[in-house]
Amino acid sequence: MSMSSSVHPLAPPELVVTGEPEDERVWVPQEENVWFRPLLLNTVQGQWCNLLRVRKSGVLSRHIHPAPVHGYVVRGSWRYLEHDWIANAGDYVFEPPGETHTLVVEGEEEMITFFNISGAMLYVDEAGAIVGHDDVFTKLDMCRAHYERCGLGAEYVEQFVR
């Protein structure tokens, strides 16, 4: 018995990947002891889904999102300096657009969180001035460069692009 597809022939293919890969090279370094694992790089809607992995304590970044962000803590915990809550393993976090927050990871354990981000991350200084940004295209470029350097080949990232 064959199964017929109900998906339009011009629709992009579905995507199923192992979240935490066995091959360490799939994790893309962002800075020392901070990596992301791309899951989806949606170039049409300006969205990306990834796992953020942190193996250090301290402030990661102060940033603002012009669109909502959804997160799910897989392992460890983190918080924002601007709030009194802590996101622990198993917690879902919704970040409304327009809020500036400072991501902090404390403790010795590894933190991994799934993030679904639309638009951009605008990095800001203490005065709120934009000092940098990330979006689906900067993430795509980071992946291509890393995968080329580590021997997977720049085209390895194409499997995550929709």
With H, G, I as helix, E, B as strand and everything else as coil, classify residue 32: coil
- Give, in order, the Cα–Cα distances in Å from 68 to each of 5, 130, 145: 32, 18, 28
**Run of H or E residues at 88:** strand 86-88
Token pair for residue 98? 């327009």
pLDDT (tens digit, 9 = 90+) per residue, 66-122?
999 999 999 999 999 999 999 999 999 999 999 999 999 988 789 999 999 999 999
Report field, pTM of the whole predicted structure over 0.75:
yes
